[in-house]
Amino acid sequence: MRSDDKQKQARKTIFVTLGVAVLMFGFAFALVPLYNVFCEITGINGKTGRISVTEVSAQKIDPSRAVTVQFDGTVNSALPWEFRPRVLQMQVTPGKLYTTEFFARNLSDKAIVGQAVPSVAPGEASLYFSKTECFCFTEQILKPGQEVWMPVTFRVSPDLPGDVHVMTLSYTFFKKGALTPEQLKQGEKIHGNVAKSTAVTEKSAS
């Protein structure tokens, strides 16, 4: 094989290799949202679902059962926040809507964006746990030293298997990055209502 042919073949091999590497990187990147969607639908990995108030109102309530829902909150080591539930557990009736809150405080001297990732244990129970409102639906912005009570409104389905009597709703907050003053101002417009504190209430679906 001539030298020119060898060089052409070598360049072709390099381009093919680079192309495959780029495709593999893109595929791996796409797997993250696809995996989250898959978990959201199937309940695998403790992912919880989202439901509208209208859907809840159209579904039944099972007054004969009581389920204990426990609450837990942790922060990733990279996020300088305090984060905890208002109450450690609640007794709920399957089919009804309930609201509780989680407390968060920015312990740093910079504005920080955090994202909460929920999970439910046992994992199979997550198929029967849904939320109409949750701070985990959007990123949360806290200014230096800011404290907020963040609500979550949830429902346990009456179809929850009879052998499940206790469920645990856990949130882990991860750091999304520090904000510039311009981003902070914009973020306050979007998430300003997060700072409103509400009491723990119980709502029945009507």
3-state helix/strand/coil string of 50-101: ECCHHHHHCCCCCCCCCEEEEEEEEECCCCCEEEEECCCEEEECCCCEEEEE
Any idea what the CATH number is for the domain that residue 189 is in? 2.60.370.10
Is 66 exposed, middle or buried (CB count within 10 Å of its CB: 0-12, 13-18, 19+)?
exposed
What are the tens digits of pLDDT across the range 148-200? 999 999 999 999 999 999 999 999 999 986 445 665 554 444 444 433 433 33
The range of the structural domain enclosing residue 140 comes to: 46-203
SS3 content of the chain, % helix, strand, coil (to 5): 35, 35, 30
Quote the longest CA-to-CA distance of the chain.
84
Q: Give residue 121's pLDDT band: very low, low, confident or very high (50, 70, 90).
A: very high
Q: What is the mean pLDDT of residues 40-45?
A: 41
pLDDT tens digits, one per residue of 52-78: 555 655 578 999 999 999 999 999 999
Tell whether pTM > 0.75.
Answer: no
Please check whether residue 199 is in contact with residue 152, taking contact to mean a CB–CB distance below 8 angstroms: no
Domain membership of residue 4 (yes or no) is: no
* Residue 12 placed within a domain: no
Q: Does 27 reside within a domain?
A: no
**33 part of a folded domain:** no
Q: Domain tally for the chain?
A: 1
Structural domain includes residue 8: no
Residue 139 domain flag: yes
The reply to whether 199 falls in a domain is yes
With respect to residue 13, please indicate whether it lies within any of the assigned structural domains: no
How does the average pLDDT of the chain come out, rounded? 75
Name the nearest CA neighbour of 137 among 194, 80, 203, 188. Answer: 194
